[in-house]
Structure 1
Amino acid sequence: MRIAVTGSIATDHLMVFPGRFTDQLIPDRLARVSLSFLVDDLEVRRGGVAANIAYGLGGLGLDPLLVGAVGDDFAEYEVWLKAHGVDTGAVQVSARRATARFMCITDEDANQIASFYAGAMQEARDIDLRRVLDGRPRPDLVLVGPNDPEAMLRHTRQCRDLGLPFAADPSQQLARLDGPQVRDLVTGAHWLFTNDYEAALLLERTDWTREEVLDRVGTWVTTLGGEGVRVDRADLPPLTVAAVPDAPVTDPTGVGDAFRAGFLAALGHGLPLAAAARLGCTVAATALSTVGSQSYRIDREHLLATAAHAYGTHAAHELAPALDGTP
């Protein structure tokens, strides 16, 4: 299965606050919040949703095509991605702007406060999927991830025009998109990815019911943090898969991206939905135990052992074919 992953490519600046954000909030002063958090740690890591997902897919043997915009400071990052199985031939390099920056503070309850500087990502709206795919094998799926909003809308419309199956993953950009834009991004998607909070925000933005969303998409995959994942399809009961129990929590940044990589890799190998959700949760648990979105290693035996612990030996055996191309 050939997947083109469009979206953000960024450098992550990750900080840790040794306390709880909620302890610093005064209920009757929330209309005027002015806070500064003294942090203990700062890690500068490779990130961006599209790059994170492509990293996971590359490690799982799928040779993904990464599509996005970066600055001329991307050279070292590009070498890293290529070394981990990612095709970077469709990445556009800006002559004017630096690669995007993600800045995030995580507290001891794994709550996060973040900001994102778009930088070169603003130029992703100039990327034409027709030109990107000219002379390349036609992808089986295009994932439209969080990006410059105009780029997300353009890529979605081009997928429809070209008859390309696409996955909608608006993620944190839901906060920037209005109702008509969200409806445009969702309609016709083969797959819709959100977390639980984003699912509620999507319903609020679109003014649709859950059933109305499912009438417009093939399958809606909602990650639930420590509760696992729910998979919804029209006229079918929801499928729920538990998270890996007792997974070490080091840094939640990029865990949802790791889930998507595992989930899509399993589908690419022809596994059923339940197995895909289990592999997604297994890869996510692996990412959760490391600092940074691309610090975890795809190790076949470790993933199978984790899956066996969480879901039983039969489930791990079912996942094995999807990991045959991994170290």
Structure 2
Amino acid sequence: MPEPGSQPNTVTESFFDPVLAERLSAIPLTARQSMLGTVSGRHQSPHRGSSVEFAEYRRYQPGDDLRRLDWRAYGRSDRYYVKEFEADTNLRLVLVVDGSGSMGFGDKLHAARQIASTLAYIAIGQGDAAGMIGASDSDSQLLPPRRIAGQVSLLFDRLKRIEAAGVTTLEQTLHRLAEMIRQRALIVVISDLLFEPSALRSAVEHLAFCKHDVALFHLMDPAELQPNWDRPIRLEDMEGDESILVDPDEIAAGYDEAVREFLQEVERISRETSVDYHRVMLDRPIEESLMRFLAGRARESAG
């Protein structure tokens, strides 16, 4: 599992269940397509024997292999750069966590942290790289996927600091990732998807064009599917300042139909763009969704 000293403090990380993570780690986290990268994990690559082929330079990060420092580049720029090579085997995991205001409804943000922390722990534990980026106007900095010492702690610290506030930037974040992550990656999006489905389609098509493997955990509170229509209720925009008092008799049927159409459209987009879609109902154990995700990929990988 993760390197010594990297395991998070489970006393303070209330969103992380180490027992669950260890149990699920028996199922390998796999990509649905061969990946190119710079670290060695459990995954076959189509470039067997080509691990010495130079791929690109990047800035040195604490924990990088010092043998890969390029001293000529240092002499030219007075900065440390590391040579990256195409490895024989690799999975590169990038977690995209929605931190917009609507994620503060119910247990959405807590569930997002649970899913992200468990998958990061499993990926790094099996020798792969993991990173993350927030998708809100208050957190949009990429923590690059690494398997360096302490990466799990860095990821967990970022997850702790995510707050459910502001407007979602999920569409823009996914487009940025498509341009920023040069080598193929498993992009896991964790969100309630409260924005236009057409924007989702555009973003995942961009990722697919760049050969990334995209998975989507769609978080839903039961109250969103079946609101309590017994009395007038006030609907609030959690990503703005507006609210409205509504009469259930006037909107119940229209609301239910709108939700059905929205879910059907999200599922259709996922099918047509080959997104690995998982709806996560927050009244069910998170383990069920994670098990379904991991087992489905392991089964597909086994052929």
Normalising by the residue count of structure 2, what TM-score does the alignment of the two structures yield? 0.35
TM-score under structure 1 normalisation?
A: 0.33
Bigger-Rg structure (1/2): 2
Q: Bigger relative contact order, structure 1 or 2, given CA contacts below 8 A and separation 6+?
A: 2
